[in-house]
Amino acid sequence: MSIVIENGTVVTLGKSSEVFHNSSILIEDGRISRIATKGEKLGKDAKRIDATRKLVVPGFINAHTHLYSSFARGLTKAKPADDFVGVLKNLWWRLDSALTIEDCYYSALVALIESIRHGTTTLIDHHASPRAITGSLRAIERAVRETGLRACLCYELSDRDGEQIAQEGLHENEEFIRCCQKTNDNLVRALFGLHASFTLSDATLGTAAKIGRDLGAGFHVHVAEAASDEEYAQQHFGMRVVERLEKLNILGPQTIAAHCVHCNEKEMDILARTRTSVVHNPQSNGNNAVGIADIIAMQKRGVLVGLGTDAMTTNMLEELRVALWVQHLRQKNPSVGFMDVINALFLNNPAVAGRIFGVQMGELREGCVADIAILDYDPTTPLDGTNVFGHLLFGASQAAVDTTIANGKVLMENRVLAIDVDEERINAQARELAAKLWKKL
């Protein structure tokens, strides 16, 4: 089916971002096939979506998240922690150890529906459920396909629960990567998931590297999130985290290094040279009190830095704002970092995701995938190509998302879900499962 979005203010984004007022976009076969900026009527028989007084932007990309975290909302059972590893031990490792396959499916489903509501059309997920590993990625995939979004999945391999569970983690990654390669569509993709340097032995990392490389897959790993990850690597392996990952053949253009809060300049240079993507998660880093990544220095050194939420939100414009505030605080300068955070979300995330999904995304241009968010934003100050980023960060970030389209399919229209799911039933089931899960903690 073809769709025409008409009368909207189109913000193309991309390298030479432009703004076209009162313009139309024709979508055919999941792609943008025409953009008309001069009042030309497109697609005579197409379904029409009126975007009058609305902003039409590319769907947002969340480059690092954990869908399973949605069952932690309102959980009061975690003991206060003194540091980041304490947060993992008191909260996340207790929670993920109690997850069932059904929990994986429903926690993903609720977070994905919320993503649709915030115009987020692509997610790069990092999953953990050490007592329910086998089949967990297929369960999440089912949720992704039911919502129509684009997602890249992986299982976070770790030695923290012993050899047998590590084996199962290796196997789940391998199986799921093979399964995605067989399906070979641009909606669901896989990376090889690794928890973090400090919970992985050389032997396990080496095996993962071999399997991943043989399959041609990249890796998705937490890197130097807290200072303790670096301290552990130096104590046990005599080198920094990024040096260790390079030595064990984990880095490269297909690999995502999430966080990199404590990377030094030498590590930044390795990340740049290996073309490894870094994903910054400022809200999570603030919440865990681990520090603020120097994404300005990283980008200056040529590192591709994207933006994720680490499951703190599904709203990328909210994360964007926090990314800017924390750079101001870090550099004690209210005038730095603006284009660094803008580029992280609007240029670099499409590049990071484009490497994984093999399509042109994050831009409203002919030939790009039709992943689109329409925001209910009628600016009350002049808006054009010169100030659109200021509008997005300070203004449109406060607006509701009206319509979400992924791969040319309408997932929400006029704020009403257009997918074939019973949201009320899903929420009720999720609440029931979350209550059961909490009882186990």
Return residues touching Zn ion (CB under 5 A).
310
Least distance to Zn ion, CB of residue 305, Å: 16
- Residue 5 or 290: the one with the smaller Cβ distance to Zn ion is 290
Residue nearest to Zn ion (CB): 310
- Residue 42 or 256: the one with the smaller Cβ distance to Zn ion is 256
Distances (CA, A) of 331 to 239, 328, 335, 394: 28, 5, 9, 20
Least distance to Zn ion, CB of residue 126, Å: 5
For the sheet with 304-307, list strands across it. Answer: 192-196, 219-223, 256-259, 277-280, 304-307
CA distance 222 to 280: 11
Least distance to Zn ion, CB of residue 308, Å: 7
- Residue 128 or 304: the one with the smaller Cβ distance to Zn ion is 128
- Residue 87 or 406: the one with the smaller Cβ distance to Zn ion is 87
- Residue 194 or 383: the one with the smaller Cβ distance to Zn ion is 194
Least distance to Zn ion, CB of residue 123, Å: 12
Using the Cα atoms of residue 51, residue 61, residue 310 and residue 76 in order, give the sign of their dihedral. positive
- Residue 103 or 310: the one with the smaller Cβ distance to Zn ion is 310
E-strand ranges in 226-303 read 256-259, 277-280
Does residue 261 sit in helix, strand or coil?
coil
Size (the chain), residues: 441
Distances (CA, A) of 113 to 55, 117, 121, 422: 21, 7, 10, 11
- Residue 168 or 310: the one with the smaller Cβ distance to Zn ion is 310
Structural element, H or E, at residue 436: helix 423-440
Strand-pair category, 416-417 with 409-413: antiparallel
- Residue 62 or 403: the one with the smaller Cβ distance to Zn ion is 62
Least distance to Zn ion, CB of residue 64, Å: 6
Least distance to Zn ion, CB of residue 222, Å: 5
In this structure, are residues 58 and 360 in contact, taking their beta carbons and an 8 Å threshold?
no
Strand-pair category, 219-223 with 192-196: parallel
Least distance to Zn ion, CB of residue 7, Å: 40
CA distance 225 to 36: 45
Work out the angle between the directed axes of helices 101-117 and 423-440 (0-180°, nearest 10).
130
Least distance to Zn ion, CB of residue 173, Å: 16
Structural element, H or E, at residue 60: strand 60-65
Nearest to 19 by CA among 331, 391, 338, 393: 391
In this structure, are residues 65 and 123 in contact, taking their beta carbons and an 8 Å threshold?
yes
In this structure, are residues 140 and 104 in contact, taking their beta carbons and an 8 Å threshold?
yes
- Residue 267 or 310: the one with the smaller Cβ distance to Zn ion is 310
- Residue 69 or 327: the one with the smaller Cβ distance to Zn ion is 69
Least distance to Zn ion, CB of residue 276, Å: 16
Least distance to Zn ion, CB of residue 278, Å: 13
- Residue 181 or 287: the one with the smaller Cβ distance to Zn ion is 287
Residue keyed to tokens 């190509």: 385
Q: Which two tokens stand for residue 101?
A: 């396959």
End-to-end CA distance of the chain: 48
Least distance to Zn ion, CB of residue 156, Å: 8
Which residue type sits at 249? N
